[in-house]
């Protein structure tokens, strides 16, 4: 299958994803989700960020690994999931290292994978303090974080098509 066909196939699948509220993948995070999926990452949730009363005021994507039935009660399965997640963490860090090589970026905007149980949340470093910010500060930073996620999507897409 050609790269274009692979990308389009994943894009069609992402277009059909609906969350528990009946909402589709947010438009401004969709390219990043598609890029991660075509590069063999598994995602479980994402959001472009919201400045209203619900959601988080920054874009994020959760990277996961497949979980076998009964894994919550089985320490061996949990260990295997942790190993697979470490492998995915190493892979995403490799992409991030390449993305940031020679790139001049505000520290707070730098994307990092943050461990959240048995998943990784890809988001900007500065988002950790978002709860302490005023709405005006959140608005300003949202633009910075959104641009960084979109730039990373463009990088991943170019990487996919050049490999």
Range of 22's domain? 3-162
Q: How many whole angstroms separate alpha carbon 114 and alpha carbon 72? A: 21
Residues of the chain with pLDDT under 50: none
Structure tokens at 67: 């979980």
Structure tokens at 21: 């509220």
Of 130, 118, 124, 119, which is closest to residue 62 (Cα–Cα)?
Answer: 119
The number of domains in the chain is 1
Structure tokens at 82: 């942790």
Q: Is the pTM of this model over 0.85?
A: yes
Q: Residues 148, 118, 36, CA angle at the centre, nearest 5°?
A: 35
pLDDT at residue 98, as a whole number: 97
pLDDT at residue 50, as a whole number: 87
Q: How many whole angstroms separate alpha carbon 81 and alpha carbon 71? A: 9
pLDDT at residue 21, as a whole number: 82
């Amino acid at each position: 299958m050609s790269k274009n066909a692979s990308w389009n196939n994943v894009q069609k699948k992402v277009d059909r994803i609906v969350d528990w509220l009946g909402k589709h993948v947010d438009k401004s995070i969709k390219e990043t989700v598609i890029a991660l999926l075509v590069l063999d990452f598994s995602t479980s949730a994402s959001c472009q960020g919201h400045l209203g009363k619900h959601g988080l005021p920054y874009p994020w994507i959760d990277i996961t690994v497949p979980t076998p039935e009964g894994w919550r009660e089985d320490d061996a399965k949990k260990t295997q999931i942790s190993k697979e997640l470490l492998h995915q963490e190493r892979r995403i860090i490799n992409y991030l290292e390449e993305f940031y090589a020679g790139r001049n970026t505000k520290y707070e905007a730098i994307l990092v994978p943050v461990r959240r149980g048995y998943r990784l949340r890809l988001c900007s470093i500065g988002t950790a303090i978002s709860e302490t910010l005023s709405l005006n500060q959140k608005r300003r930073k949202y633009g910075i974080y959104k641009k960084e996620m979109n730039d990373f999507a463009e990088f991943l897409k170019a990487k996919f098509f050049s490999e």
